[in-house]
Amino acid sequence: MAVRAPSSLFLTEAVGQNIVPSLARMLGGWTVAVILGVLLGVAIGRSRRFGDYVEPIVHFVRAIPPPALIPIFLILLGFGTEMRVSLITFAVIWPVLLNTIDGVRSVESLHLDTAKVFEFDRRKVFFGIVLPSAAPKIFAGMRVSLSVAIIIMVISEMVGLPDGIGNVILGAQRTYRMADMWAGILLLGILGYVLNALLALVETRITRWHRGAREGVS
Amino acid sequence: MTSLTTRIPRAPRRAGAGSSRRSAVVRGALGFLALFAVAEVISRSGIVKEAFLPPASVVLMRVGQLLVDPEFLGQVLATLEAWAIGLGICIVVSVTIGVLLGSSRAAYSGSRAVIEFLRPIPSVALIPVAMLVLGNDAEMKIALIVFSTSWPVLFNTIYGMHDVDPIAKLTAKSFGRGRLSTLLTVSLPSAAPFIFTGIRIAASVALIVAISAELLAGASDGLGRWMLDAGATGNRPDLVYAATIIAGLIGLAINFVLVLVERRFLSWQPALRQTDKGTA
Amino acid sequence: MSVTTTGTDLLTIEGLGHVYEGRQRHEAIGRLDFTVPEGAFVSIVGPSGCGKTTMLRCLSGLMKPTRGTVYLGGEPVTDVPRDLALVFQDYSRSLFPWRTVAGNIGFVLPRGLPKEERAERIRESLDAVGLSGAADKYPWQLSGGMQQRVAIARALAYRPKILLMDEPFASVDAQTRAELEDLMLDVRRRFDMTILFVTHDIDESVYLADRVLVLSKSPSTIVTTMEVDLPSPRDQVATRASEHFVQLRTEIAEMIRDQSTRRTASGAGAAAADTAP
């Protein structure tokens, strides 16, 4: 167990063994959360009745601190990837879900009236008005989710099978490889920063109208 | 975590608001009942083994038992104690620093680089560091909580201080108020809603961090530790599920109390007034 | 009359009334009976809060009235009819900010429309409102008056038989307002359209219309119907300065004033009668 230089953490086989699987799990869990969150959020936001049935459950379940689910997920899903991805999905779905409900419900009523006047069908109302109106809020939720995802990724890697960045950091601490430990922590900071910047870039492209309309000329 | 601070507007209810609110409560209860029934059936029918998913009725019974079990409650108390102390320190420290940085442009731009550098580091990544420095006792938990919750409070405070209407400050000045007096009577109250938003986020983050630390760092006590013991060591999934539900109840209770406090002290805030009108 | 009406009524309103139920019961519309002949420009003028918007929502089928029926081309209106378009007062909330000007107009055209015809209709309607150069702009990049032009162009491209307008120029400045008024007269001539125009501005109602309906305060009823036989084409300066115009607007203004004072007077009278032995 030699003391390695921190650079080796990034440049050696560690990249393939730890960083790539970590990122894959994080992005996988986040993607699933975004898809489920938007679908469920649209359903709750659009249907008063469905919302009435489901919303109280949503509010209860989201109040559970995600790490408290680790024991259950360990029991149900084992010690590997399934457990980690599910934990990430569970933890990060809430910002997307709640923002989607919010976005879908706060569609400008005059836009809906306009749609009625010009006889839009349901599909056109949904894809043409509801989704674009809710998009800025959905994106904001996705951004928050991504920053939470990186945290939960680390947590999920500190239990179960030994792989991933979180595990490397914990292992480095246990074996007193301080340089590796700090390198791992720094790496997480950089990852979080880069991912957030990337998503912000996509967001500004897709919802360019939103900022323009808010800063408006009129 | 931030999800705690999101307010969902209620869908518009038209005529007969009273009766439809009643039907919403009924539907909500039916939703829970359905969930309960499905969980019960899945477990009893053996679709999922009972060792993985105990029947919902058993879990609910365990919740009842745990809620009067002094030993379990002691563990919960240990978690909540760390939560409260951590959050308290965080509020005092972060609000003070935030007010100082927020009221002085020079101090803010001087410290900004450091803050921006530290911020993206996930607090849980520091669990190993904290273990190393502070061992696995309550101090470790509290230190982690303080570190991870400081950011939302600090940023919201700075932001709130920058958002204070300059005219309000000038008005105070024109009535002969000094710097300190202006700070206390104008700046702080108008930054309060922002600060409180930060505190709401911090409160839920603190609970997450406390339980994470107990689960991952092998803390000697706390709800997380208890769950780990019940699950991995004790092989009692029913207790694990029950404790998870109780964790959710704690989360709900914290959220509820914060909403009450916010309503009580910040009722003048336009956003709150609107939601009150909407739900009235 | 200067209008080319065919004499048949396009829009018929029979015994329309609306009451908002709820904690505070509010009778917005008392009873309305009137018709809008095909090809006519009818304006409805009334004090603010007289239930004009409620009325338009009922006429357009956005809202179901408590009493009465609206017929468009002989058919009772239950949902928003295909032959009807509505221009809202609040253009900034009615246009879709995530679509360009051309996108906003194209959006309301039926999906099956061939590409060329789609482009042609967008071009034609933008041309009619004098915004040919703004097709690729976003609504929020335009001034208020231009945004309302886009909303009008959108309604024109939809090719309705009747255009309802809900105080469309209430939130633009006076200069722009005059331009938009003339734009409406021009559009009406070009597209041979029937227009029902709601406003609180007496001068505007007279300047634009062939017929003015004067509404009372809510619960609203029609106080009077006035034919406007001013010559066409109308001119912002000459028409407004003409003796006849002044006479018409004065009559309407007096009517609205009397109507509101009479109501308070009769209220006071009733109170006095109650206390009388």
Q: Is the pLDDT of residue B2 over 80?
A: no
Q: Which residues of A touch C99 (CB under 8 A)?
A: 209
Give mean pLDDT, residues C46-72: 88
Measured in angstroms, the CA of A99 and the nearest CA of chain C are apart by 19
Query: From the CA atom positions of chain C, what is the Rg in Å?
Result: 20
Distance CA A58, CA A35 (A): 16
Distance CA A43, CA B27 (A): 16
Neighbours of A92 (CB within 10 A): 32
What one-character DSSP code corresponds to residue B194?
Answer: H
Rounded to a whole number, what is the distance in angstroms from the first to the last CA of chain C? 55
Give mean pLDDT, residues B181-210: 85
Report if residue B90 sits inside a domain: yes
Q: Which of C86, C58, C61, C64 is nearest to C196 (CA)?
A: C86
B21-60 tens-digit pLDDT: 778 888 888 888 888 888 888 888 877 777 778 888 888 8
Q: What is the mean pLDDT of chain B?
A: 79
C117-148 tens-digit pLDDT: 999 999 999 998 989 889 999 998 998 889 99
Query: B199 and B124, same structural domain?
Result: yes
Report if residue B99 sits inside a domain: yes
Query: B88 and B213, same structural domain?
Result: yes
Task: Find the CATH number of the domain harbouring B132.
Answer: 1.10.3720.10
For A177, phi and psi rounded to 5 degrees?
A: -95, 85
CATH placement of domain A15-208: 1.10.3720.10
Q: Is the pLDDT of residue B239 over 90?
A: no
Pairwise CB contact (< 8 Å): C138 & A212: yes
Report if residue B228 sits inside a domain: yes
Query: B258 and B125, same structural domain?
Result: yes
Distance CA C13, CA C76 (A): 10
- Cβ of residue B249 closer than 8 Å to a chain A Cβ: yes
Pairwise CB contact (< 8 Å): B122 & A71: no
Encoding tokens for residue A87? Answer: 């934990």
Query: B121 and B31, same structural domain?
Result: no
Is the CB of residue B93 less than 8 Å from the CB of residue B145? no
Per-residue confidence (pLDDT) for residue C248, from 0 to 100? 92
Q: What is the mean pLDDT of chain A?
A: 84
For C29, phi and psi rounded to 5 degrees?
A: -120, 125
Report if residue B58 sits inside a domain: no
Residue of C nearest to A216 (CA): C140
Report if residue B6 sits inside a domain: no
Query: B49 and B77, same structural domain?
Result: no
- Higher-confidence position of B63 and A5: B63
Give mean pLDDT, residues B77-92: 93
pLDDT band at C277 (very low <50, low <70, confident <90, very high): very low
Residue of A nearest to C171 (CA): A218
**A125-129, A187-191, B85-89, C136-140: segment of lowest average pLDDT:** A187-191
Per-residue confidence (pLDDT) for residue B191, from 0 to 100? 86
Report if residue B5 sits inside a domain: no
Helix (H, G, I), strand (E, B) or coil at A4: coil
Encoding tokens for residue C262? Answer: 């009479």
Distance CA B36, CA A53 (A): 13
For residue C219, is the peptide bond before it cis, meaning its omega torsion is within 30 degrees of 0?
Answer: yes
Q: Which of A29, A8, A9 is nearest to A168 (CA)?
A: A9
Pairwise CB contact (< 8 Å): B247 & A94: no
Q: Which residues of B touch A52 (CB under 8 A)?
A: 23-24, 27-28, 31
Per-residue confidence (pLDDT) for residue B8, from 0 to 100? 52
Q: Which of C145, C228, C142, C156 is nearest to C188 (CA)?
A: C156
Distance CA A41, CA B143 (A): 36
Chain CA centroid to CA B99, Å: 22
Is the CB of residue C163 less than 8 Å from the CB of residue C155? yes
Helix (H, G, I), strand (E, B) or coil at A143: helix
Neighbours of C12 (CB within 10 A): 17
Q: Is the pLDDT of residue C276 over 60?
A: no
What type of residue is C245? F
pLDDT band at B268 (very low <50, low <70, confident <90, very high): low
Query: B172 and B142, same structural domain?
Result: yes
- Higher-confidence position of A91 and A181: A91
Question: How many separate domains does chain B show?
Answer: 2
C189-244 tens-digit pLDDT: 888 899 999 998 999 999 999 999 998 887 888 888 989 888 888 888 888 888 89
Domain of B46, in residue numbers: 20-53
Q: Is the ipTM of this complex over 0.85?
A: no
Helix (H, G, I), strand (E, B) or coil at C155: helix
What type of residue is B133? V
Pairwise CB contact (< 8 Å): A74 & B252: no
Report if residue B75 sits inside a domain: yes
Distance CA C15, CA A189 (A): 70
**Judged by CB atoms within 8 Å, which residues 46-75 of A form the interface with B?**
48-49, 51-57, 59-72, 74-75
Q: What is the pTM of this model?
A: 0.78
In Å, what is the CA distance from A141 to each residue of A128, A137, A200, B181, C187?
A: 21, 6, 12, 39, 45
- For residue B214, the number of C-alpha atoms closer than 13 Å in the C-beta half-sphere is 30
Query: From the CA atom positions of chain A, what is the Rg in Å?
Result: 21
Per-residue confidence (pLDDT) for residue C149, from 0 to 100? 92
Pairwise CB contact (< 8 Å): A189 & B121: yes
What residues does C274 pair with on adjacent strands?
none
Q: Is the pLDDT of residue B252 over 80?
A: yes
Pairwise CB contact (< 8 Å): B11 & A193: no
Identify the top-confidence range among A126-135, A142-151, B168-177, B191-200.
Answer: A126-135
Give mean pLDDT, residues A113-141: 90
The pairs formed by A169-172 with CB atoms below 8 angstroms and a separation of 24 or more are A169/B125, A169/B128, A170/B127, A170/B128, A170/B216, A172/B128
Report if residue B142 sits inside a domain: yes
Encoding tokens for residue A137? Answer: 């809020």
Distance CA C199, CA C166 (A): 7
Give mean pLDDT, residues C160-188: 90
Measured in angstroms, the CA of C150 and the nearest CA of chain A are apart by 13
State the burial class of residue B80 (Cβ atoms within 10 Å of its Cβ: 0-12, 13-18, 19+).
middle
What type of residue is C59? L
Q: Which of A168, A130, A146, A145 is nearest to A19 (CA)?
A: A168
Encoding tokens for residue B44? Answer: 């009893």
Segments making up each domain of chain A, as ranges? 15-208
Distance CA A34, CA A188 (A): 22
Is the CB of residue B39 less than 8 Å from the CB of residue B47? no
The torsion defined by the Cα of B37, B38, B39 and B41, in degrees rounded to 10, comes to: 80
